[in-house]
């Protein structure tokens, strides 16, 4: 059986063979290698692979940007110069000049006029072959005129079979290295061979999209008359497919982890009360709530896989340490992993200060002596050590825990779903996992970025916290800034100076920070330290440590100051070329100061006067200290793009879906997923959807 789809494009009627019935529900075709396509050789495949197009399915999402209508045959007398047109002509005479570099020319006619075909870089024999004299051929190409004569230079199409030409060619971007003609042929071939897939959505959902099937929608997506039809139902259906698939994968991972049975952790309330009593502040309500949620998970018989999300400085560390002590008192070991050694050390020191003396905690540092390392390795194996702090080194193979019950991972918001799944598998079934991140994200994104975890949120800042005062300054007012810095230093405060981020060149980045360092060092001799990307890790930690010990007053840095580290004495941050950063990033940077009791200041410096839009963005930052709110606003103003740098992180990016434009579909998908979770619905019928949209191995153990 053949199934036809009829489409009307500019009043022309088109039949598409939608599918061969024998292709029914055979999504393997879509996942097949590109070489399965006619006309795709090694060269084309390589080019496409570089664009991350690895299989046929991937090819469907490069959308046409515009199209060339070659379907209408024009007469020479009606030609319009500058337009691509299709004409039927008869070649009359060749002109092959003997002089090199002059083009070959063929004089042609139709009943209404004359036209020349011009060929640069084409062999005489080739021209004779495609344009035989006195035979009618159809050509298509851009019309120009020279000395009053129409001509077509290197026509795109020349054929005696006019049906091969009278088509509508889509113009795709991203086809560099591949001819438009070839690319169109490939896409048409796929559209003709699309398998019919069993519908995965239920009737109720499908109705919202005019009951359009996936096939139908894909064909319409490549239909030139639908370009920019983002609001049409067929388009929305495809957007919804994408969102739903991403949510469903995450939800399935979460369900799977939750099914893992573990020994419940039993601890006494007194342990927690004692440590809370030793703090010189009261926990905020949000901290308490988060702690309760974590404790409940620890108590339960299912494995915990939870994210503790809270704005910079909201006090996540203390929550994780209190829960650690609970776990230790229940007889299990704890491991806390931080992205840098200096942060691990800071957490270790805080625990040392707060934990009762009979708990044995250690810091595993790359700098420790071998004997020391051996002692820690043995202590963990013999269950003599209750908790270890360190970088990813604490998960080396040679480190064996006697009874690991809790893994805490700090500031690794850039881990993708896959990396997180690996972490949760580590440590075995009895091991609960807590991730901490200071990167608030807009609500619509939570399910797609963190949908595989339960989430606790700390929104509230500690009460004693003063808002960081935020100012913007033009660069030529640097003298004012220096005056201010002088005053702050006199009062014993410390300053971060963030150098311009010059994306185009690491070298320039480096240069500008060195120059700034020299400049400041002259003004404040022996008080300035410099951190840039070229400094080795060990040296970097030394510098940061000295800054923590107040040996310097100003820290000049290019790269973003190490996340997570608590600098209680730093209360001024100056950010140059601030418009190069996203709002969320600026908010993160600003969060490096204002941890102590003193009033903190953030100065954003700009090269030139701000545009209206830039002013709007900066005002958001000046008026809000809430990372969640800022991320929402930032997304609205800048678009989803590369908000927060998730792009490099393996966190899934959408092909069509846009969290701003399609907010309703995100919410709809969330509702559906919740329904599936609550009613414990089977997900077999989504198999094709998951296989196609998330071609991850992770799925294999789910479906
Ligand atoms: P983050 O959530 O960014 O990791 P931290 O855990 O480093 O934040 O905490 C930032 C600072 O706030 C620390 O100096 C910490 O001691 C302090 N802090 C944490 N909780 C409170 C609280 N409830 N009241 C006052 N200060 C707090
Ligand atoms: Mg932190």
Distance 40 CA to ligand 1 centre (A): 58
Q: Where is mean pLDDT largest: 64-68, 153-157, 456-460, 464-468?
A: 456-460
CA 312–ligand 2 middle distance (angstroms): 7
Contacts of residue 547, defined as CB under 8 A and 6 or more positions apart, other chains included, come to: 494, 529, 555, 567, 570
Is the pLDDT reported for residue 112 higher than 50? yes
Q: 666: which residues sit within 8 A by CB, 6+ positions away?
A: 243, 444, 447, 448, 657, 659
Q: Closest Cα to residue 515, out of 484, 558, 472?
A: 558
Of 152, 180, 177, 170, nearest in space to 88 by CA: 152
Per-residue pLDDT, 607: 84
pLDDT at 227 over 80: no
Q: What is the band of 676 on the pLDDT scale with cuts at 50, 70, 90?
A: very high
684 burial level (CB within 10 Å; 0-12, 13-18, 19+) = exposed
> Six-digit token pair at 486?
């002088």
**Phi, psi (degrees; rounded to nearest 5) at 27:** -80, -5
Determine which residue's CA is closest to atom 4 belonging to ligand 1: 316
Over residues 260-271, mean pLDDT: 94
Q: Is the CB of 312 under 6 A from ligand 1?
A: yes
Q: Are 47 and 106 in contact (CB under 8 A)?
A: no
Residue of 309, 311, 462 to mutate, ligand 1, most atoms within 8 A of C-beta: 462
**Other residues' Cβ atoms within 10 Å of the Cβ of residue 200:** 21
- The alpha carbon of 191 is separated from its chain's Cα centroid by a whole number of angstroms, namely 29
Lowest mean pLDDT among 170-174, 418-422, 427-431, 590-594: 170-174
What's the CA angle centered on 228, arms 227 and 233, to 5 degrees?
95
Torsion of CA 27, 29, 34, 35, to 10 degrees: 160
Higher pLDDT, 686 or 637: 686
What pLDDT is recorded for position 274?
95
Least confident of 188-197, 408-417, 655-664, 667-676: 408-417
Can you tell me the distance from the alpha carbon of 458 to that of 461, in angstroms, rounded to the nearest whole number? 8
Q: Among all chains, which residue has been given the structure tokens 């200060």? A: 353
Q: Residue 334's pLDDT is what?
A: 97
Residue 504 has pLDDT above 60, yes or no: no
Distance CA 96, CA 397 (A): 74
Distance in angstroms (rounded) separating the CA atoms of residues 636 and 658: 11
| pLDDT of the residue at 386 | 97
The 10s digit of each residue's pLDDT in 215-226 is 999 998 888 777
Average pLDDT over residues 380-405: 90
Angle between the 214-221 and 233-258 helix axes, to the nearest 10 degrees?
A: 130
Atom of ligand 1 nearest to the CA of 312: 3
Statement: residue 100 has pLDDT above 90 = no
Strands of 508-566, DSSP E? 528-531, 554-557
Q: Decide if pLDDT at 596 tops 80.
A: no
Within 222-260, residue ranges assigned H as helices are 233-258
pLDDT category of residue 10 using cuts at 50, 70 and 90: very low
Question: Residue 426 pLDDT > 90, yes or no?
Answer: no
- Report the pLDDT value the prediction gives residue 650, as an integer from 0 to 100: 41
Which residue has better confidence, 637 or 328?
A: 328
Return d(Cα 586, Cα 591) in angstroms, integer: 8
- The arithmetic mean of pLDDT across residues 480-495, rounded, is 94
Share of residues in the chain with pLDDT > 90 (%): 43
Over the chain, what is the mean pLDDT?
85
Residues around ligand 2, an ion, CB closer than 5 A: 564
Q: Kindly identify the ligand whose nearest atom is closest to the C-alpha of 564.
A: 2
Q: Does residue 66 carry a pLDDT above 90? A: no
More reliable by pLDDT, 575 or 423? 575
Query: Which among 457, 439, 459 is positioned nearest to 587, based on CA atoms?
Result: 439
Q: What is the mean pLDDT of residues 277-282?
A: 93
Mean pLDDT over 291-313 rounds to 94
Indicate which residue's Cα is closest to atom 1 of ligand 1. Answer: 313
pLDDT at 478 over 70: yes
Structure confidence at residue 367 (pLDDT): 79
The ligand 1 atom at the shortest distance from the C-alpha of residue 318 is: 6
Q: Is the CB of 313 under 6 A from ligand 1?
A: yes
Q: Is 284 in the pocket of ligand 1 (CB under 6 A)?
A: yes
- Rounded to whole angstroms, what are the CA distances from 398 to 84, 336, 380, 481? 68, 17, 11, 52
> pTM for this structure?
0.75
Task: Give the residue whose CA is nearest to atom 26 of ligand 1.
Answer: 462
Q: Are 583 and 527 in contact (CB under 8 A)?
A: no
- Higher-confidence residue: 694 or 525? 525
**With a 6 A CB cut-off, is 310 part of the ligand 1 pocket?**
yes
* Listed range (385-389, 541-545, 551-555, 560-564) with the worst mean pLDDT: 560-564
State the pLDDT confidence band at 20, using cuts at 50, 70 and 90: low
At 82-91, the pLDDT tens digits run 888 889 999 9
pLDDT for the residue 21: 52
In this predicted structure, what is the pLDDT of residue 105?
93
Ligand 2 centroid from CA 230, angstroms = 41
Across residues 341-367, what is the average pLDDT? 92
Mean pLDDT of 12-30: 62
**pLDDT-based confidence at residue 354 (cuts at 50, 70, 90):** very high
* Span from the CA of 282 to the centroid of ligand 2 (angstroms): 18
Whole-number pLDDT of residue 521: 94
464 lines ligand 1 (CB under 6 A): yes
At residue 268, what are phi and psi to the nearest 5 degrees? -95, 145
- Closest alpha carbon to 227 in 63, 83, 68: 63
424, 303 in Cβ contact below 8 A?
Answer: yes
Of the candidates 489, 527, 526, 531, the one whose C-alpha atom is nearest the C-alpha of residue 514 is 531
DSSP-based three-state secondary structure for 575: strand
**Secondary structure in 3-state letters for 582-634:** CHHHHHHHHCCCCCCCCCCEEEEEECCCCCHHHHHHHHHHHHCCCHHHHHHHH
Which ligand 1 atom is nearest residue 350's CA? 16
Position 647 scores a pLDDT of: 44
pLDDT at 436 over 90: yes
In this model, does residue 702 exceed pLDDT 60?
no
Residues 440, 310, 415, 55: is their CA dihedral positive or negative?
negative
Q: What's the pLDDT at 315?
A: 93
* CA-proximal residue: ligand 1, atom 5 (nearest): 315
What's the CA gap between 15 and 8, in Å, rounded?
A: 9
pLDDT (tens digit per residue) in 154-205: 887 777 776 666 667 667 665 567 777 788 888 888 988 888 888 999 999 9
Residue 13 in this model has a pLDDT that exceeds 60: no
Interhelix angle for 233-258 vs 663-678, to 10°? 40
pLDDT at 22: 54
Q: Give CA–CA dist 575/586, Å, rounded.
A: 8
Q: Which residues contact 679 (CB under 8 A, 6 or more apart)?
A: none
How many residues would you count in the chain?
Answer: 703
Instruction: Report which of 652, 179, 293 is spatially closest to residue 447, judged by C-alpha positions.
Output: 652
């Amino acid at each position: 059986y053949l199934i036809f789809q009829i489409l009307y494009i500019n009043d022309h009627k088109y039949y598409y063979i939608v599918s061969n019935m024998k292709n029914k529900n055979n999504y393997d075709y879509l996942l097949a290698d590109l070489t399965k396509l006619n006309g795709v050789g090694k060269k084309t495949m390589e080019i496409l692979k570089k664009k991350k197009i690895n299989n046929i399915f991937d090819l469907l999402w490069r959308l046409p940007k515009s199209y060339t209508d070659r379907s209408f045959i024009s007469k020479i007398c009606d030609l319009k110069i500058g337009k691509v047109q299709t004409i039927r002509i008869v070649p009359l005479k060749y002109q092959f000049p003997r002089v090199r570099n002059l083009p070959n020319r063929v004089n042609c006619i139709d009943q209404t006029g004359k036209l020349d075909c011009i060929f640069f870089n084409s062999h005489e024999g080739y021209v004779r072959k495609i344009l035989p004299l006195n035979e009618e051929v159809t050509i298509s190409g851009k019309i120009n005129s020279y000395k009053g004569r129409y001509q077509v230079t290197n026509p795109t199409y020349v054929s005696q079979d006019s049906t091969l030409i009278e088509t509508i060619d889509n113009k795709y971007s991203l086809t560099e290295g591949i001819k438009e003609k070839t690319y169109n042929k490939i896409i048409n071939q796929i559209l003709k061979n699309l398998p019919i897939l069993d519908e995965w959505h239920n009737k109720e959902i499908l109705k919202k999209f005019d009951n359009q099937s996936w096939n139908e929608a894909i064909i319409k997506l490549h239909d030139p008359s639908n370009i920019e039809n983002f609001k049409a139902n067929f388009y929305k259906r495809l957007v919804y497919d994408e969102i739903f698939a991403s949510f469903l994968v995450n939800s399935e991972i979460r369900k799977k982890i939750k099914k893992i049975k573990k020994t419940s952790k039993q601890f006494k309330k007194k342990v927690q009360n004692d440590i809370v009593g030793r703090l010189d502040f009261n926990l905020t309500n949000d901290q308490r709530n988060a702690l309760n949620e974590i404790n409940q998970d620890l108590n339960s018989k299912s494995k915990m896989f939870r994210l503790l999300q809270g704005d910079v400085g909201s006090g996540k560390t203390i929550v994780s340490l209190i829960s650690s002590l609970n776990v230790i008192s229940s007889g299990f070991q704890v491991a806390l992993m931080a992205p840098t050694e200096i942060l691990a050390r800071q957490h270790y020191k805080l625990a040392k200060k707060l934990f009762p003396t009979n708990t044995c905690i250690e810091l595993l540092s790359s700098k420790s002596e071998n004997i020391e390392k051996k002692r820690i390795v043995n202590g963990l194996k013999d269950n003599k050590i209750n908790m270890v702090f360190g970088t990813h080194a604490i998960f080396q193979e040679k480190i064996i825990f006697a009874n690991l019950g809790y893994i805490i991972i700090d500031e690794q918001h850039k881990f993708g779903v896959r990396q997180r799944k690996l972490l949760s598998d580590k440590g075995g079934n009895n091991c609960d996992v807590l991730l901490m991140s200071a990167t608030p994200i807009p609500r619509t994104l939570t399910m797609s970025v963190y949908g595989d975890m339960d989430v606790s949120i700390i929104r509230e800042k500690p009460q004693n916290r003063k808002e960081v005062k935020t100012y913007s300054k033009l660069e030529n007012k640097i003298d004012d800034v220096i005056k201010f810095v002088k005053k702050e230093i006199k009062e014993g405060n410390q300053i971060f100076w963030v150098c311009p981020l010059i994306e185009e060149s690491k070298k320039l980045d480096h240069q500008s920070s060195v120059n700034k360092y020299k400049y400041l060092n002259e003004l404040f001799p022996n008080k300035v330290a410099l951190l840039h990307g070229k400094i080795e890790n060990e040296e970097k930690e030394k510098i940061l440590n000295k800054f923590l010990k107040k040996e310097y007053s100003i820290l000049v840095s290019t790269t973003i100051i190490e996340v997570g580290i608590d600098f209680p004495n730093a209360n001024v941050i100056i950010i140059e070329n601030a418009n190069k950063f996203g709002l969320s990033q600026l908010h993160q940077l600003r969060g490096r100061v204002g941890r102590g009791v003193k009033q903190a200041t953030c100065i954003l410096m700009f090269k030139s006067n701000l545009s209206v839009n830039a002013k709007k963005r900066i005002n958001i930052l000046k008026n809000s200290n809430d990372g969640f709110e800022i991320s929402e606003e930032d997304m609205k103003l800048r678009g989803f793009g590369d908000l927060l740098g998730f792009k490099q992180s393996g966190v899934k990016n959408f092909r069509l879906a846009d969290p701003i434009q399609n907010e309703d579909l995100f919410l709809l998908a969330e509702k559906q997923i919740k329904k599936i979770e609550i009613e414990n619905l089977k997900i077999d019928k989504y198999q094709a959807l998951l296989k196609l949209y998330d071609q991850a191995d992770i799925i294999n153990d789910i479906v």
